[in-house]
Amino acid sequence: MLFGKITGIKNRNRERYERIRRLMWIKCQSCGKLVYYKDYKDNHYICPRCGKAFIMTPKQRFDLLFDNNDWEKISLPIVSDDPLNFEDRVSYKERLEEARSETGFHDAITTADGTIGGIPATVCVLNGDFMMGSMGRAAGDGIVASIEHAIETKRPFIMVTSSGGARMQENILSLMQMARTTVAVNKLHETGTPYIVLLTDPTFGGVTASFAMLGDIHIAEKGARIGFAGRRVIEQNIREKLPSNFQTAEYLYEHGMVDMVVERTELHDALAKILAVLTKQKRDPKVINVMTPAYDANKKIRGMGENEAYDKVLLARHENRPHFLDYINGIVDDWTYLAGDRTFAEDAAMGSGIGFWRGIPAVIIGQEQGRTIETRQKHRFGMVNPDGYRKAQRMMRLAEKFNLPLISLFDTAGAFAGREGEERGQSQAVASSISTGLSIKTPYVAVNVGQGGSGGAIAIGTGDRVLMLENAIYSVIAPESCASILWKDNKYKAEAAQAMKLTARDMADLNVIDKIIEEPAGGAHTDWQTTMELLSSAVADEIKSLQKISPDKLPAKRAEKYLAMTRDVEIYQPEHKEEHE
C-alpha cells in the first residue's frame, strides 16, 4: 500500500479520497521516494522509481487483463457475515464494515467476463486490499460460483490471487474453503476448461495450499512474494536466516512451482498467447526463415571416414547441428515456454511449452543441449535430471487434457548420471515418462533429431509415430562406451557403432521407427532452412493423420505397436577379429 493507513489518514468518503489522491504526491513504501500519483497510475500501479508492483483493485486488474477495458461484472452469492460471533480487539462485523467502506467491495472476491486476445474468458480476482485478501466463506462461495459460471459458459478461467491465507475470524469454516475450492477446480479440470492462475504479491497460506497451486499453467507476476508459511515464521522455526530471494516469484520459478515470471505490463499478451493455443485458435503456418550459423566447413571432423555408422555418430554430434530451441524458434509460432515440475525444480535440459507447429496448436517437449559454454552448462548438454522428466510428464498430461498433439524432439546422450539424479529418483522418473507417454489419449509424434541415447531418449520417445532425421543415431549406449566395455578399448568405437546398428536406416530396417526424414547434402548442420522445412512438414503430416483416429483408441494402438516391436527381428552377430577379443 502506498498511501492511506500508513500516514494515518482515514477515509470514509471514497470519492473525495480518490479526488484528493489524484492530485497528490505519494511516498512509495518500498523505496521511500516521493512519486506523483498520476505517474504511478499511468505505470500500472508500479513505482516508477524502484519498480515495486503494488496491489491492484479488481477493476484495475480487469482493465489490465481484458481487451479494451471492456468487461462485465458477474453477480456472486452473499453469505451471512459472522457465523462464529468472533471478537478480538474489534468485532469481526466491525472489521468487515471497515473493509467494505474502504474498498467499496462486499468481500474479497470479484469476478468479470470479457475477452483476452479476442477469446472470451472469466477472470476472478482475490482482492488483497480486502482484509489482506483472506479467504472466508464469502470468498470460497465466490470462487466456486465463478468456476461454475466458467464451466457453464465454456470460458477459460483465470484466477488472480493476492492473499495472506485463510481468514482467522471464521476459523474452521475458513479452513474448509481449501477443500471446497479444490472440489470446484477438480470439476473445472474434468470438463477440459483451461485454468490459469496469476499469482501476485502477496499470495500465502491456505490459498497457495489449495486452488492457487492447481492450475494448468501458473504465472507469477514479477516481484510477487509467494509461499505457504511467512518468511518470519520460518526463520523463527528453523532459527536461521533465509536467502534474500526466498519466496519470490523468481525463487519459485527456479524451484519448479511456476511456469513463468511476467512483468505486469506484459500479462495481457502472455495470457492471449496461452489461450490461443489452449482454445485451438486458427493460425496460418509460420513462414520458416532461418539462417545457418557460420562454421568452418573445411575443418576436418576427427574420426570421420572409419565407417558409415561412426560417421553418422559424428554428424549427429556436430557442433553446428540445430537443437531443440533452434527448431522452436524456426518453426513454432506464438511459442510460450512452460517451466517446472511443480515439485522441486526447473530443469533447463528439458525444454517444454506450447505453440503453433505449422498452424497446429501443440504441446512440444525436447532436450536442449546448448551451444556456448554457458548454455551447455545451463542445459547440461541435454542430459536431463528427474525434475525434467517429471516436467515432461506434466506436459504430456496437459496435451491430453486439451487434446493437443504432443511433439517430442529428443536429442540426448542419456539421462544425467549424478548424485542428485539418483537422490531424486532418476529411474522412477524415466520409467514414469515412458508409462505416461504410452497412456495419453492424444496424438503423439516423437522425432529423433540427433542423439537418441538410452533411457534418456526413450523416456520421451514412445510416440504413435517415431521419426528420425537421416543422420541421427539411436542406441542403448554410446559406441565409445560400448567399445570400452566389450572390446576393452574405445579405439574400436567405429566397429562398435557398426555392430550396434544405430543409424536411421538400421532403425527403419528393425521397425523401431516409422519414417526417416532426409537431411540436406552434408547434414543438417549445413542447411538449417531445408532441415526445418522437411522436419516440420513431416511432423505436421503425421499429426493430421493421427487426428483422424479417436483419441480413446490411440493408447491401445500405441501399445500394440510397441508390443509387436522386436518380436521377429534377425539378430545381428557382427564378426570380430581375433585381436579384438
Task: Concatenate the DSSP letters of all residues of 466-497 into one string.
Answer: EEEETT-EEESS-HHHHIIIIISSGGGHHHHH
Please report, for residues 140, 210, 549, 555, the alpha-carbon distance to residue 437 in angstroms, rounded to integers and kept in the order given.
36, 28, 17, 9
Any domain includes 321:
yes
| Section 253-276 average pLDDT | 97
Any domain includes 568:
no
Strand 350-357 with 332-337, pairing: antiparallel
When pLDDT is cut at 50, 70 and 90, the band that residue 13 belongs to is low
| Section 366-394 average pLDDT | 95
The answer to whether residues 190 and 83 belong to one domain is yes
When pLDDT is cut at 50, 70 and 90, the band that residue 573 belongs to is very low
The answer to whether residues 68 and 210 belong to one domain is yes
The answer to whether residues 61 and 176 belong to one domain is yes
From the number of C-beta atoms within 10 Å of its C-beta (0-12, 13-18, 19+), residue 384 rates as buried
Kindly tell me if the per-residue pLDDT of 48 is higher than 90: no
When pLDDT is cut at 50, 70 and 90, the band that residue 19 belongs to is low
When pLDDT is cut at 50, 70 and 90, the band that residue 475 belongs to is very high
Residues 13, 427: Cα–Cα separation, whole Å: 63
CB 408 within 8 A of CB 457: no
Residues 274, 279: Cα–Cα separation, whole Å: 9
Handedness of CA 162, 168, 170, 176 (dihedral sign): positive
Q: What is the mean pLDDT of the chain?
A: 92
The answer to whether residues 197 and 336 belong to one domain is no
The answer to whether residues 219 and 365 belong to one domain is no
Share of the chain above pLDDT 70, in %: 94
Q: What is the tens place of the pLDDT at every residue in 156-174?
A: 999 999 999 999 999 999 9
| Section 187-215 average pLDDT | 97
The answer to whether residues 62 and 123 belong to one domain is yes
Share of the chain above pLDDT 90, in %: 83
The answer to whether residues 345 and 257 belong to one domain is no
Kindly tell me if the per-residue pLDDT of 534 is higher than 90: yes
**What is the domain range of residue 29?**
1-54
The answer to whether residues 48 and 79 belong to one domain is no
Q: What is the pLDDT of residue 2?
A: 43
Any domain includes 435:
yes
Looking at per-residue pLDDT, the higher value among 54 and 411 belongs to 411
Cα 31-37-42 angle, rounded to 5 deg: 100
Place of cell 495450499: 209
Please report, for residues 54, 65, 103, 520, the alpha-carbon distance to residue 61 in angstroms, rounded to integers and kept in the order given.
12, 6, 14, 51
Q: What is the pLDDT of residue 300?
A: 86
Residues 467, 507: Cα–Cα separation, whole Å: 10
What domain count does the chain have? Answer: 3
Kindly tell me if the per-residue pLDDT of 358 is higher than 70: yes
The answer to whether residues 47 and 70 belong to one domain is no
When pLDDT is cut at 50, 70 and 90, the band that residue 23 belongs to is low
Cell of 397: 498430461
The answer to whether residues 169 and 250 belong to one domain is yes
Place of cell 526424414: 517
Looking at per-residue pLDDT, the higher value among 97 and 572 belongs to 97
Any domain includes 443:
yes
**Residues, the chain, total?**
581
Any domain includes 496:
no
Q: What is the pLDDT of residue 53?
A: 87
β-sheet bridge partners, residue 357: 332, 360
> What are the phi and psi torsion angles at 514 (to 5°)?
-100, -25
Q: What is the pLDDT of residue 12?
A: 53
